């Protein structure tokens, strides 16, 4: 009993110390860890080009890098176009909000409810810093581009350096297979989610359709919470743009249905048994890494937790913690 207590105290102390270190080194660690996963995702594409076209790695690597850079340039250009579109239509959106407020204010005044105390909502809405908000979004995207530059530098050094072979058996290979299976499946399901969402919004002609599809793709990497945000984010634009209630309802129901079917029906059948993590463990890891590293931490939470569980499971001293993470309490 004392041995188990000492082990628990040691693990908690190690977790606390590691959390402090990771928090204060996040400016370097986040780009580095993201670059590791980016390289991990790109490696299969490099091997594909080598086998498919019978070329050396020194030729396949630049080809894949060029394709990746072109893809990111297209994405950033599309996001910039969406922001410019919102800025151009911001006055129309503001006018629609003011008309809706007039209707509400007239109803309140006619009914005699707080007739003398109704605040001047028109003045309040008119003074909202819409363009300042757009500037903040643009600044956040610029920071993202700056971070991507650092990630690209790390990734370039990792890919051009000496390649270390991974043993075909053992703990590292198990972690390799689990993470690769998770990332591959998540990438494909996220692509399906983002593509279907964007296609639907293009069909109904919703502004920022591509951007909402991109957000659906990215947020799908964040379990549970990401799907909720991806479903709700287009709603304000739909409310401001569409006068047809049917289109507004469909803008919520169709993306929500896509998220539900892919996230709760398809993904669990493919990923569920491979992760061997209890849903509560995934949720707690999401909160933990979100507190430490913010949104990037939420993206990385699941694969990092999978790796931690595998290392704990292969230690006779700490395997009880691995069983607990899997939902099988064992102390």
Q: Which of the listed ranges 39-53, 152-166, 192-206, 224-238 does the model predict with the highest average pLDDT?
A: 192-206
Mean pLDDT over each residue of the chain, to the nearest integer: 79
pLDDT of residue 136: 53
pLDDT of residue 195: 94
pLDDT tens readout for residues 242-268: 888 899 999 999 999 999 999 888 887
Please state, for a pLDDT cut of 70, what percent of the chain lies above it: 76
Q: Which two tokens stand for residue 221?
A: 């990497």
pLDDT of residue 115: 46
Question: Which residue bears the tokens 């004392």?
Answer: 2
Q: Decide if 328 contacts 62 (C-beta within 8 A).
A: no
Chain centroid to Cα 225, Å, comes to: 9
**Backbone dihedral region of 208: left (phi > 0), alpha (psi from -120 to 50 degrees) or beta?**
left
The burial class, CB within 10 Å (0-12 / 13-18 / 19+), for 204 is middle
pLDDT tens readout for residues 18-32: 889 989 998 888 888
Q: Identify which has the larger pLDDT, 67 or 330.
A: 67
pLDDT tens readout for residues 273-327: 566 788 888 889 999 998 998 888 888 898 888 888 888 887 777 778 788 888 7
CA distances from 81 to 11, 87, 197, 202, 209 (A): 49, 10, 18, 15, 11
pLDDT of residue 120: 58
Neighbours of 213 (CB within 10 A): 24
Q: How far apart are CA 245 and CA 251, in angstroms?
A: 10
pLDDT of residue 252: 93
Across 149-153, average pLDDT? 80
pLDDT tens readout for residues 52-64: 888 888 888 889 8
pLDDT tens readout for residues 74-129: 877 777 777 777 667 767 776 776 676 777 677 666 666 554 444 555 565 555 55
The angle at the Cα of 87, spanning 86 to 91, to the nearest 5 degrees, equals 95
pLDDT of residue 155: 82
CA distances from 121 to 101, 112, 115, 124, 237 (A): 7, 17, 13, 5, 20
């Amino acid at each position: 009993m004392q041995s188990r207590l000492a082990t628990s105290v040691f693990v908690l102390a190690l977790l606390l110390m590691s959390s402090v270190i990771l928090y204060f080194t996040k400016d370097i660690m986040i780009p580095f860890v993201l670059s590791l996963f980016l390289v991990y995702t790109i490696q299969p594409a490099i091997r594909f080009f080598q086998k498919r076209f019978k070329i050396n790695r020194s030729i396949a690597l630049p080809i894949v890098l060029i394709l990746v850079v072109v893809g990111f340039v297209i994405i950033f250009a599309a996001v910039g176009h969406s922001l410019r579109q919102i800025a151009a239509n911001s006055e129309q959106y503001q006018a629609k909000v003011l008309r809706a407020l007039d209707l509400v204010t007239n109803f309140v005044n006619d009914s005699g409810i707080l007739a003398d105390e109704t605040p001047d909502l028109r003045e309040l809405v008119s003074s909202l810093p819409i363009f300042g908000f757009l500037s903040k979004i643009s600044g956040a995207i610029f920071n993202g581009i700056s971070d991507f530059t650092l990630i690209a530098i790390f990734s370039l050094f990792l890919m051009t350096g000496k390649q270390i072979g991974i043993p075909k058996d053992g703990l590292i290979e198990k972690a390799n297979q689990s993470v690769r299976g998770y990332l591959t499946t998540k990438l494909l399901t996220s692509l399906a989610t983002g593509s279907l969402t964007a296609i639907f919004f293009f069909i109904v002609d919703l502004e920022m359709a591509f951007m909402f599809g991109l957000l659906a793709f990215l947020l799908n990497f964040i379990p549970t919470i990401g799907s909720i945000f991806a479903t709700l984010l287009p709603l304000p634009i739909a409310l401001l743009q569409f006068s047809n209630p049917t289109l507004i309802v469909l803008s919520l129901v169709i993306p929500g249905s896509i998220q539900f079917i892919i996230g709760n029906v398809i993904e669990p059948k493919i990923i569920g048994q491979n992760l061997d993590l209890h849903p509560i463990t995934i949720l707690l890891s999401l909160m933990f890494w979100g507190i430490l590293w913010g949104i990037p931490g939420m993206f990385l939470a699941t694969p990092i937790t999978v790796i931690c569980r595998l290392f704990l499971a292969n230690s006779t001293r700490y395997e009880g913690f691995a069983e607990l993470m899997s939902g099988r309490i064992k102390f």
